[in-house]
Amino acid sequence: MSDREKILRYYRASGDEVLASRLLDLADTVIRNRKYKASDFLDPYGFSVAETIAAQYEGRINLQSAGGYESAERNKAIFVSNEYLGKVDCPLSVLSITWDSRYYHITHRDILGALIGLGIEREMFGDILMKESGCQVITDPNLCSFTAVNLVTIGAANVSVRAESLEHIEPPEKKVKEIRTTVASLRLDVIAAAGFSVSRSKMADEITADKVKVNWQSAKNSSQTVKQGDIISMRGRGRVEVCEILGQTKKGRTSIFLKRFI
């Protein structure tokens, strides 16, 4: 069995065979033309797939990222041939979208829905950075004109759209809440309930409604086991990192240390 077939077989089980195949095609192209190729925007899990693939070409390909700013969550994976000595160019732009915040409250989800409603696939734009009366969207330069012309409203709000350079990016200030607690088990619904400060039954409902992801993949079920280092994200509520699992207490509960990013 070839390395390609082994990789595809591995990701087939999780339903990510198409993504892996697309990234393998990029890597193979780089091997042939001895230059570089960039993927569409990937979430952290998708980028980890790119890292796995790049590792299979050790000594022939190196992997770079481009997300517009240093701490970007969504990045393009750039496979670069080790024989390529030129400059790697992966141009990105910033779309500034503004509205009258006195009358309209627009969320990250609203922005996402409006862009997808224009026929733009999620993979074509990166992070959406929310501000007090607007947002910034990282995207490809060739989408800027189309979006500026066609995105005129979000919900009932009129919006203004203009393209800016990467120099104008305003990364959001991350608010972190540290949580030290004990839990009865390491089930997803138990850990997530503690991290997001909701009841276990409410969290179970959110998981069933496919509003919860573990490491950027849809949660399998409420009972799946969470481990140290996992990232649990909940739609509209941010994410929780399982920083440490500290062991058992005298009463048989498990001590954990979580960080919630709001």
Domains of the chain by start residue, with CATH = 3-81 (3.30.1370.50), 93-168 (3.30.70.330), 176-261 (3.10.290.10)
Beta-bridge partners for 234: 212, 238
36-45 tens-digit pLDDT: 999 999 999 9
What is the token pair recorded at 171?
Answer: 């990364």
For residues 60 and 47, give the distance between their C-alpha atoms in angstroms, rounded to a whole number.
Answer: 19
Residue 120 pLDDT exceeds 90: yes
Look up the pTM and report it.
0.82
DSSP tag of 187: B
pLDDT at 212: 94
Residue 216 pLDDT exceeds 80: yes
4-47 tens-digit pLDDT: 888 888 888 778 899 999 999 999 999 999 999 999 999 999 99
132-173 tens-digit pLDDT: 889 999 999 999 999 999 999 999 999 999 998 888 898 877
pLDDT at 3: 80
Beta-bridge partners for 131: 134
Residue 1 pLDDT exceeds 60: no
171-214 tens-digit pLDDT: 877 789 999 999 999 999 999 999 999 999 999 999 999 999 99
Helix H, strand E, coil C: the string for 107-151 is: CHHHHHHHHHHCCCCHHHEEEEEEECCEEEEEECHHHHHHHHHHC
